[in-house]
Amino acid sequence: MLQRFKVADGIHLTADVLGEPGSPAVILMHGGGQTRHSWHAASTALARQGYHVINYDARGHGDSDWSPQGEYSLEIFAADLKDIIRTLPHPPALVGASMGAATALFAVGNSPPNLVRAMVLVDFVPEVEREGSERIRSFMNANMGGFATLEEAADAVSRYYPHRPRPGNISGLMKNLRRRDDGRLYWHWDPRFVTRRERGEPPQFSSKLSDAATRVRVPTLLVRGLLSDIVSDRGVASLRAQLPSLAVLDVAGAAHMVAGDKNDKFNQGVIGFLQQQMPARPAS
C-alpha cells in the first residue's frame, strides 16, 4: 500500500507500507541519491516474516516532496524520521543504509531511549573512508545534465559497480529516473541535495554521529560488505569503542550496496537479528 506522511514543515514523504499495522514495525531508510525501491526485496521478506514495514523515500528523493528551501541537513532528516515514528503505536526497529543509517544513528543518539527497539546500520560508521565517500560524491555529481537514453544511465551504474553483473533487463532502472521536459532522463532526487554545503550524507557530521553513538542504548547491528570502500576495520573498531554492545555481520562478496549485492544473506542476517530483539509471527 502506498502511503503519504506529512512531516513538520508540510512536506509529504511517500512510503510503501506492508504487513499488518498491529505487528512489530520496521522502518527502512535508503541511502543518499537512492529511493525506497532499493529495499523492495528486503521489505517483502520482512513483511513475510510478520513485520509491519514502512519503506519511505527521504525528502528530495523518489516520490517524496523536494524541500522548497533545499533543506537536507542531518537534523531535518532525523526530524522527518521522528514524525513517522510518532504515527506508530509502539517503538519500531530502524534499518538504514548510508544516509539512512546516519539518520537513524543521529536520531536514536539524540532522543529518549524508548524511541526505537533496535537499529541496523548498513555499511555505515561515523568514520567512513574518505576515498570511498569521494567516489560516491563523484558519481552523484556526474551526469547532472541527465542521460539521453536509459542505456547511458545503465552504463554509468555499471562503471560505479564493476563487481556487479549488468542485468539483462535494465528497465527497472527507470524507478530511479524521471524524464523531464527536455526529453532527457535525470536521477530522481533534488540536485540541491548534492550541491548544498551541508547535507545529511557521509562523511559530513562525523563528530556529531560519533557523539550520538556514545548515547545509543538499543541493540544495534552493523552489516558490512567486505568489498566496501566505505567501512574499514578502523571504522568498525572506532564505532565499537563508542558502542561496546555493537554486533557486526560481515557479508562476503558485497560492497557498499549490501542488500543489492547479496540480498539473501542480507535478509537472513537482518531478520535473524530482528527476531531476537523484536519477534514477529510469520505471515500465513
* pLDDT in the model for residue 202: 52
Q: Which pLDDT band, with edges at 50, 70 and 90, does 215 fall under? A: very high
Dihedral angle sign, alpha carbons of residues 274, 275, 278, 283: positive
The amino acid at 193: F
Please say if the pLDDT value at position 284 is more than 70. no
* pLDDT in the model for residue 167: 84
Task: Report the alpha-carbon distance of residue 25 to residue 88 in Å, rounded.
Answer: 8
Please say if the pLDDT value at position 40 is more than 80. yes
- Cis amide prior to 203 (ω within 30 degrees): yes
Could you give all domains of the chain from N- to C-terminal order, each with its CATH number? 2-139+199-277 (3.40.50.1820)
Give the residue-averaged pLDDT of 11-17. 98
Task: Report the alpha-carbon distance of residue 267 to residue 162 in Å, rounded.
Answer: 23
Grid cell in block for residue 164: 556487479
Q: Which pLDDT band, with edges at 50, 70 and 90, does 269 fall under? A: very high
Task: Report the alpha-carbon distance of residue 128 to residue 145 in Å, rounded.
Answer: 29
**Average pLDDT over the chain, rounded to an integer:** 93
* pLDDT in the model for residue 9: 87
Percent of the chain with pLDDT over 70: 97
* pLDDT tens digits along 49-76: 999 999 999 999 999 999 999 999 999 9
Task: Report the alpha-carbon distance of residue 191 to residue 264 in Å, rounded.
Answer: 32
Residue in the structure block whose three cell numbers are 510518532? 86
Task: Compute φ and ψ for 219, nearest 5 degrees.
Answer: -55, 130
CA distances from 180 to 33, 140, 152, 177 (A): 18, 18, 16, 10
* pLDDT in the model for residue 194: 85
* pLDDT in the model for residue 204: 57
* 3-state secondary structure (DSSP) of residue 65: coil
Task: Report the alpha-carbon distance of residue 270 to residue 224 in Å, rounded.
Answer: 12
* pLDDT tens digits along 224-260: 999 999 999 999 999 999 999 899 999 999 988 899 8
Q: Which pLDDT band, with edges at 50, 70 and 90, does 137 fall under? A: confident
Distance between alpha carbon 67 and the CA centroid of its chain, in Å?
Answer: 19
Contact (CB, 8 A) for 48 and 22: no
* pLDDT tens digits along 83-92: 999 999 999 9
* pLDDT tens digits along 174-213: 989 999 999 999 999 999 998 876 654 555 578 899 999 9
